[in-house]
Amino acid sequence: MTARALINVPPKARRGEIVEIKTLIAHPMETGYRVGLGGELIPRDIITTFTCTYNGEEIFRADFARAIAANPFLSFFTTATATGTIAFQWSGDNGFSATEQAPITVE
């Protein structure tokens, strides 16, 4: 399953600068509490974990519960330490998995 994800990482940063990272991924985040047209419960389908790594080292991880809005948005911070890659990984119910990455140049 592929999901559309939007990533915002500043392409350039000074060494030691604190940069903001924003991510948004297309996902219905079905809570499992809603009732469909036939009166049946719509089964839960959510993203459960999000991980962000910077040159392979984990810098931020989030565990989502059902109360996260559809198309989960996250913004957080990291210190720019070295030129490299910031990678993102989402995983969830029904084998959902998506990855994305962005380069960052540190001067």
Partner 1 sequence: MTDQRANDSGTSRRDFLTATVTLAGGMALASVARPARATPDTMQAAIREVVGEAAIRKGKVKIDVPPLVENGNTVPITISVDSPMTAADHVKSIHLFNEKNPQPNVIGVHLGPRAGKAQFSTRIKLAAAQTIIAVAQLSDGSFWSDDADVIVTIAACVEDLQ
Binding site for partner 1 (CB under 8 A): 18, 31, 33-41, 54, 57, 59-70, 72-79, 81
Supply the minimum distance, in Å, between the C-beta of residue 26 and partner 1: 14
Nearer to partner 1, 4 or 66 (CB): 66
Supply the minimum distance, in Å, between the C-beta of residue 45 and partner 1: 14
Report CA Rg, the chain. 16
Q: Is 93 helix (H, G, I), strand (E, B) or coil?
A: helix
Supply the minimum distance, in Å, between the C-beta of residue 17 and partner 1: 8
Alpha-carbon distances of 65 from 1, 56, 96, rounded to whole Å: 21, 26, 15
Nearer to partner 1, 1 or 67 (CB): 67
- The number of angstroms, rounded, from the C-alpha of 75 to the middle of its chain's C-alpha atoms is 9
Nearer to partner 1, 79 or 105 (CB): 79
Query: What distance in Å separates the CA atoms of residue 31 and residue 44, rounded to the nearest whole number?
Result: 5
Residue listed under structure tokens 């469909």: 36
Supply the minimum distance, in Å, between the C-beta of residue 99 and partner 1: 19
* The total number of residues written for the chain in this structure: 107
